Amino acid sequence: MTISETDQQPRERDEVFLELTRSICPVCKRTIDAEVNARENQVFLRKRCPEHGEFEARVYGDAEMYVDIQRFNKPGTRPLQTQTVVKDGCPSDCGLCPEHKQHACLGIIEVNTGCNLDCPICFADSGSPRANGPDGYSITLEQCATMLDAFVAAEGEPEVVMFSGGEPTIHPDILAMIDLAQERPINAVNLNTNGIRLASDKSFVAELGRRNRPGRRVNIYLQFDGLEAATHTAIRGRDLRGIKQKALDNCAEAGLTVTLVAAIEKDVNEHEIGPIIRHGLGHPAVRSVAFQPVTHSGRHVEFDPLTRLTNSDVLHSIADQLPQWFTLSDFFPVPCCAPTCRSITYLITQGHPDDPDFGLVPVPRLLQVEDYLDYVSNRVIPDYAIREALEKLWSASAFVGTETNDERLTQVAEALDCADACGVNLPEALAGITDNAFMIVVQDFQDPYTLNVRQLMKCCVEEITPDGRLIPFCAYNSVGYREEIRAKMRSVEVAPVVPNALPLQPQLAATPYGSKRVSP
Amino acid sequence: MSAGLDAAAVKACCAAGYSSDLVSLLLGDSYHPGGLTLTRQLFDRVGLRAGQRLVDVASGRGTSTLLAAQEYGARVEGVDLSAGNVALASGAAAAAGLADRAEFHLGDAEDVPLPDGCADVVICECALCTFPDKRTALAEMARLVVPGGRVGITDVAADRDRLPDELTGLTAWIACVADARPLAEYADLAAEAGFRVLTTERHTNALSRMIDQIEARLELFRMTAKPRLEALGIDFAKAGPVLEAARRAVDDGTLDYVLMVAEKPCE
């Protein structure tokens, strides 16, 4: 991006220029042009701010896969309602603005900024200093109702709302908020928690279990970064292993389904990816595992943007660490968002992984998923009902255990089309299949370094704000919307958060919450 | 797995046009290796163009046939031995609004109920290996296609003399593969029928993936319907070694998946 080449001989560049897009300056957050390039079979996003210079970040660890999966891209669906008008262009008009390419598959409501943990890594920059600080807040029941109404107005019948924070289980009204969601045409509630209250307060878990009923499911989205003490200390600041196990057991007892959610940080817990899956397969409450390469928004440990982890690194780790069960080709991108944002597989399992006759079949080995979800090649597909079922399964709104999910899995099982062969009625034999279904999700959220407006414009995971907007999750955490909402909620000034990145160190100062800001 | 079938039964099963119970169980009724991706490659290799007349021999549920109509603008006819498949394919054609240029007929590949020279292009996917009389089937294709027209075939290829013992035992899916021929023999058969072979390609990955799929389905059946299938003679303990042998056969070239395009010379 410089024009200072002085060599006499023409030289070839060491990278393939894939796309020109827009991003933001990680320091001042202004919108700037960005290039996406492939180099040494990895994908990098590079950009230059006229004031703060050049920035580059690794955005996908497998360039071949990055290019290949672009075809898993579904035409978007317009939401029923947008909340803003287009003025300055993406990502400055959230949201959603009328130019957004996709409706919201998943809406997130952050009910507070306080937490009963002070983790070294937290994209929301939550914790006790925040709770007691000038810009900490908890939403009221009225605000929660407004936010849910905004979501329903935009979506009609949303599939799932997630309550998050902070730590939502310490909000005194959290059960009432779940009731508010369940009174509305929202099929499922996901509760995003560190599990501390679930481990210690059995009557609370029972209350959640009571609310988990057909057509109104409650799933626990449990922070779970690994099985080793060192992992917990590095990411959470204390050893939570006993608490996690107790939380899981209490959920099983209350009939609640659980998603294990692991933040994966380079050189900290990459090696725990396989063991986390195995642990999940062995616990009766766990029906899915979600891996998220650490998002370098909010608070995090110092990192090098050029070596950060991406989705493809997690996918390779799964295949490398559990070769007896998985290959790379068992995972397919979710086509409702940008294909490099989220990849999923479903498994049908039987028994405990330690049993000698434990059974595990990745669903993509049973049918040619690409014949249905490759929207670029396919103008004709074998069966539109199967495509529709796969679309619902390969979606950000998919949670194992909901009736929608069960129905779609059954539909896909029926597509195995050998009804009555050998007197085996497969659909009938598979009637119980949904109880044995297990989902693995790999989701890379964008941060101020990696933000690509092309992906952001099709984001289907939205933060619902107290003023009734739906802001794409990665814009909320990267562009400055989180700071804007905090300032507005408490009528105070909030300094923009800047990534704790290696190249930025000389310019950084600490905030009271552990995140970084520009040195005054 | 199924040790009790004799050769005649195998032929009968395969001649039944893929509706054999065990094959259906292991592969599904509408499966062919390579999926739509390989189907499109086949259409590209035969040079299918808008307005051309295409006949799909052993058209199954008509997925490829309708793809030719919808994506390539061809006028298409499919022939299949299963009345159920013909009905499903006709229904799919109507649903896609293609009833005016897609027709499906009940019929045998060795005696196709269509007139001479009715096609510019004939395709046959993953079915020739199952036809007991391959010469007659190819002669039928030669009869259907106009001079200068083309036939496109994808199929399992097997060097039967080198097939490992595990695979010559009459396991269910090999039941059909057992009458697959080496690529060179398919080419000779096509030449005998009067075709000039233009292209042959190997698509080994499609076959590897088919083996993965069979393994996955077997595992699913073990989990969901084990007693029932064991009563029918499927030995799950033997399936692993058989599939391993199949993978080795694919690796050393004994088993393969091939694509062949041939032209009927102008008089």
pLDDT value of residue A84: 94
Please provide the average confidence, as pLDDT, over all residues in chain A: 92
pLDDT of B24 reads: 61
Q: No. of H helices and E strands in chain B?
A: 11, 7
Is the pLDDT reported for residue B1 higher than 50? no
Closest CA to A127 of A144, A143, A113: A113
Burial track B108-143 (b if 16+ CB lie within 10 A, e otherwise): bbbebebeeebbbbbbbbbbbbbbeebeebbbbbbb
pLDDT > 90? residue A380? no
Q: Does A418 touch chain B (CB under 8 A)?
A: yes
A221 to chain B, minimum CA–CA distance in Å? 28
Look at residues B257, B267, B224 and name the one whose alpha carbon lies nearest to residue B125. Answer: B257
pLDDT score for A228: 98
Q: What tokens were used for B60? A: 């199954």
On the question of pLDDT at B173 being above 80, the answer is no
Selected residue with higher pLDDT from A326 and A371: A326
Residues from chain A contacting residue B232 (CB–CB below 8 Å): 422-423
Give the residue-averaged pLDDT of A170-181: 98
Let me know: does A474 contact A292? Beta carbons within 8 Å.
Answer: no
Q: Do residues A283 and A248 touch, judged by C-beta distance below 8 A?
A: yes
Query: What's the fold here for domain B7-263?
Result: Rossmann fold (3.40.50)
- Measure the CA dihedral A297/A299/A305/A308, to 10°: -90
Q: Which residues of A touch B229 (CB under 8 A)?
A: 422, 424
Q: Tokens standing for B131?
A: 């036809």
Q: At B218, is the pLDDT very low, low, confident or very high (cuts 50, 70, 90)?
A: confident
Q: How far apart are CA A177 and CA A179, in angstroms?
A: 5
**Under an 8 Å CB criterion, which residues of B touch A?**
21-22, 24-30, 35-37, 40, 61, 63, 66-67, 70-71, 96, 212-213, 215-217, 219-225, 228-229, 232
Alpha-carbon span A178 to A189, nearest angstrom:
7
How far, rounded to the nearest angstrom, does the alpha carbon of residue A2 sit from its chain's CA centroid?
Answer: 36
Q: Does A414 lie at the interface with B, CB-CB under 8 angstroms? A: no
Question: Could B28 and A417 be called an inter-chain contact, meaning their C-beta atoms sit closer than 8 Å?
Answer: yes
Longest dimension (CA), chain A: 77
Domain coordinates in residue numbering, chain B: 7-263
Give the separation between CA A410 and CA A94, rounded to whole angstroms.
Answer: 38
Q: Which two tokens stand for residue A76?
A: 């978007």
Encoded tokens for A133: 């600080």
Of A371, A432, A436, the CB nearest to B36: A371
φ and ψ of A385, to 5 deg? -65, -35
Whether B24 sits inside 8 A of A433 (CB atoms) is no
> Is the CB of residue B199 less than 8 Å from the CB of residue B234?
no
Residue A325 inside a domain? The answer is yes
Which of B223, B229, B235, B247 would best serve as a mutation to test chain A binding (most A beta carbons within 10 A)? B223
CB contact under 8 A, B224 and A430: yes
Predicted pLDDT of residue A435: 77
Q: Show the tokens assigned to A227.
A: 């099985």
Q: Do A366 and B216 touch (CB under 8 A)?
A: yes
> What whole-number distance in Å separates Cα of residue B125 and Cα of residue B43?
11
Average pLDDT for residues B125-141, to the nearest whole number?
91
- What pLDDT is stored for residue A274 in this prediction? 98
pLDDT recorded at residue A422: 47
User: What residues of chain A lie within 8 A of the CB of B29, using their CB?
Assistant: 417-418
Cβ A461 vs Cβ A448: under 8 Å: no
Least confident of A44-53, A148-157, A167-176, A417-426: A417-426
In tens, the pLDDT along A194-219 reads 999 999 999 999 999 999 999 999 99
pLDDT of residue B227: 78
Confidence of residue A115 (pLDDT cuts 50, 70, 90): very high
B7 confidence band (pLDDT: 50, 70, 90): very low
| pLDDT score recorded for residue B28 | 64
Q: Looking at CA atoms only, how far is residue B116 from chain A in angstroms?
A: 29
Interface contact flag, B232 A422, Cβ < 8 Å: yes
Please say whether the beta carbons of B222 and A424 come within 8 A.
no
Q: Is the per-residue pLDDT at B14 higher than 60?
A: no
Instruction: State the Cα–Cα distance between residues B17 and B86, nearest whole angstrom.
Output: 12
Domain span including residue A317: 102-376+437-520
CB–CB contact B36 A424 (8 Å): no
Alpha-helix residue ranges (DSSP H) falling in B96-203: 134-144, 165-168, 172-177, 183-192
- Smallest CA–CA distance from A379 into chain B, residue: B71
pLDDT score recorded for residue A420: 46
pLDDT at B22 (0 to 100): 60
Cβ distance of A371 and B229 shorter than 8 Å: no
Give the Cα separation of A125 and A517 in Å (integer). Answer: 12
The Cα of B183 is separated from the nearest Cα of chain A by a number of Å equal to: 26
Nearest by CB to residue B21, choosing from A378, A380, A421, is A421
Mean pLDDT in residue range B198-205: 95
Nearest to B59 by CA among B9, B113, B13, B95: B113
pLDDT band at B213 (very low <50, low <70, confident <90, very high): confident
| Minimal CA separation from A492 to chain B, in Å | 58
What is the residue type of B189?
A: L
Angle at A497 between CA A494 and CA A500, to 5 degrees: 155
Where b means 16+ CB within 10 Å and e means fewer, B37-75 reads bbbbbbbebbebeeebbbbbbbbbbbbbbbbbbbbbebb
CATH assignment of the domain containing A350: 3.20.20.70
A417 touches chain B (CB under 8 A): yes
- Of A187 and B230, the structure prediction assigns the larger pLDDT to A187
Domain-located, residue A27: no
Choose the closest CB to B228 out of A367, A416, A424.
Answer: A424
Q: What pLDDT is attached to residue A98?
A: 94
A432:B67 CB<8 A: no
* pTM of the entire predicted model: 0.88
8 Å CB contact between B162 and B182? no
Q: Shortest CA distance to B55 belongs to which of B74, B34, B36?
A: B74
Contacts of B33 in chain A (CB under 8 A): none
Q: Is the pLDDT of residue A112 over 80?
A: yes
- Beta carbons of A368 and B35 less than 8 Å apart: yes
pLDDT of residue B168: 60
Lowest mean pLDDT among A287-301, A405-419, B166-180, B235-249: B166-180
The per-residue DSSP string of B42-105 comes to: HHHHHT--TT-EEEEET-TTSHHHHHHHHHH--EEEEEES-HHHHHHHHHHHHHTT-TTTEEEE
- Evaluate if residue A69 carries a pLDDT over 90: yes
The tally of domains found in chain A comes to 1
Contacts of A223 (CB under 8 A, 6+ apart): A192, A193, A194, A195, A236, A261, A263
**Which chain A residues are within 8 Å of B4, Cβ to Cβ?**
none
A–B CB contacts, 8 A cutoff, strictly below: 90
pLDDT of residue A417: 55
Selecting from B70, B224, B232 the residue whose C-beta is nearest the C-beta of A379 gives: B70
* Element containing residue A193 per DSSP (H, E): strand A188-193
Mean pLDDT of B138-155: 97
Q: Strand, coil or helix: what is B11? A: helix
pLDDT of residue A415: 66
Q: End-to-end CA distance of chain B, in Å? A: 50
How far B7 CA lies from chain A's nearest CA (Å)? 19
A-chain residues within 8 Å CB-CB of B228?
Answer: 422-424, 429
Instruction: For A412-453, write each residue's pLDDT tens digit.
Output: 776 665 444 445 555 555 666 677 889 999 999 999 999 999
> Residue B10: its pLDDT value, please?
42
Using DSSP bridges, classify how beta strands A437-443 and A286-293 pair: parallel, antiparallel or unpaired.
Answer: parallel
Gap from B203 CA to chain A (nearest CA, Å): 16
- Helix or strand holding residue B197 (H, E): strand B196-202
Q: Quick one: tokens of A519?
A: 């040195």
Residues B186 and B258 sit within 8 Å (Cβ to Cβ): yes
Which member of A366, A371, A433 has the closest CB to residue B217? A366
Cβ count near A136 (within 10 Å): 20
**Tokens standing for A388?**
């529709």
